[in-house]
Amino acid sequence: MKVMMLTWEFPPRIIGGIAPHVYDLSRALSRQGVTVIVVTCDFPGAPEREILDGIEVHRVNSYLSPTPDFASWTYLMNMNLKRYAAGLLYLDHQVDVIHAHDWLVAEAAIGLKHLFRIPLVATIHSTEYGRRNGVHTDYQRMIHQTEVWLSREAWRAICCSDYMASHVNFALGLPRENISVIPNGVDLQKFSPSFDRESFRRDYASPDEKIVLFVGRMVYEKGVGLLLEAAHKVLRSMNAKFIFVGEGYLRDVLAKKAMDEGIGRKVYFTGFLDDPTVKLLYRTADVCVVPSLYEPFGIVAIEAMAAGTPVVVSDVGGLSEIVQHDVTGVVVHPNDADSLAWGILRVLKDRQYANVLSERAGQRVIKTYNWDVIAHATSQVYHKLLKEYSSGSWKRPSQFS
Amino acid sequence: MRVSILTWEYPPRIVSELSAYVQILSQTLAKNGNEVHVITFHDTLRGDEKEPSGVIVHRVGNPVSTHVNVLTWDLTLSCEFERVCANVHYDSGRIDLIDCHEWLSVVAAMTLKRAFRIPFVMTLDSLEEQRSNFGSEPLNLAVRSIERMGTNDALFVLVKSEAMKAQVVNLHGLNSEKVKVVRRAGDLSGLAQLYDEAARTGFAG
What does the mean pLDDT of chain B come to? 94
| Cross-chain residue pair B68–A89, CB shorter than 8 Å | no
Size of interface A-B (CB pairs under 8 A): 103
Report the C-alpha gap between B65 and B76 in whole angstroms. 9
Q: Does the pLDDT value for residue B52 go beyond 90? A: yes
Least confident piece of the model among A307-316, A322-331, B180-189 = B180-189
Give me the pLDDT at residue A172, please. Answer: 98
DSSP-assigned letter for residue B94: -
Give me the pLDDT at residue B13, please. Answer: 97
Report the C-alpha gap between B98 and B120 in whole angstroms. 4
| Cross-chain residue pair B115–A116, CB shorter than 8 Å | yes
The answer to whether A393 contacts chain B (CB < 8 Å) is no
Give me the pLDDT at residue B32, please. Answer: 92
Give me the pLDDT at residue B204, please. Answer: 60
DSSP-assigned letter for residue A137: S
Instruction: Give the SS3 label for residue B57.
Output: strand
DSSP-assigned letter for residue A344: H
CATH 3.40.50.720 matches A188-368: no
CATH 3.40.50.2000 matches B2-200: yes
Tell me which residue in A72, A111, A116 faces B72 most closely, judged by beta carbons.
Answer: A72
Q: Does the pLDDT value for residue B185 go beyond 80? A: no
Nearest-CA distance B92 → chain A (Å): 11
pTM of the model: 0.91
Q: What percent of chain A has pLDDT over 70?
A: 100
On whether ipTM exceeds 0.90, the answer is yes
Least confident piece of the model among A26-40, A163-177, B34-48, B189-203 = B189-203
pLDDT, average across residues B100-127: 96
User: Model confidence at A297, in pLDDT bands (50, 70, 90)?
Assistant: confident
Report the C-alpha gap between A396 and B94 in whole angstroms. 12
User: Model confidence at A295, in pLDDT bands (50, 70, 90)?
Assistant: confident
CATH class assigned to A2-185+371-400: alpha beta
Answer whether A222's CB lies under 8 Å from A292's CB: yes
Q: Does the pLDDT value for residue A109 go beyond 80? A: yes
Give me the pLDDT at residue B146, please. Answer: 97
pLDDT in tens, A222-267: 999 999 999 999 999 999 999 999 989 999 999 999 999 999 999 9
pLDDT, average across residues B47-73: 97
Give me the pLDDT at residue A284, please. Answer: 97
User: Which residue spans of chain A are classified as CATH 3.40.50.2000?
Assistant: 2-185+371-400, 188-368
pLDDT, average across residues A189-202: 93
- Which residues have CB under 8 Å from B126's CB, separation 6+? B102
What does the mean pLDDT of chain A come to? 95
Least confident piece of the model among A216-220, A339-343, B82-86, B134-138 = A216-220
Q: Break chain B into its structural domains and give their ranges.
A: 2-200
Q: Does the pLDDT value for residue B198 go beyond 60? A: yes
Nearest-CA distance A316 → chain B (Å): 32
pLDDT, average across residues A279-283: 97
pLDDT, average across residues B103-127: 96
Nearest to A1 by CA among A401, A399, A384, A392: A384
Q: Does the pLDDT value for residue B203 go beyond 80? A: no
Nearest-CA distance A87 → chain B (Å): 5
Tell me which residue in A68, A117, A145 faces B66 most closely, judged by beta carbons.
Answer: A145
User: Model confidence at A183, in pLDDT bands (50, 70, 90)?
Assistant: very high
| Cross-chain residue pair B68–A142, CB shorter than 8 Å | yes
Q: Chain A partners of B91 at a C-beta cutoff of 8 Å?
A: 397
Give me the pLDDT at residue A239, please. Answer: 97
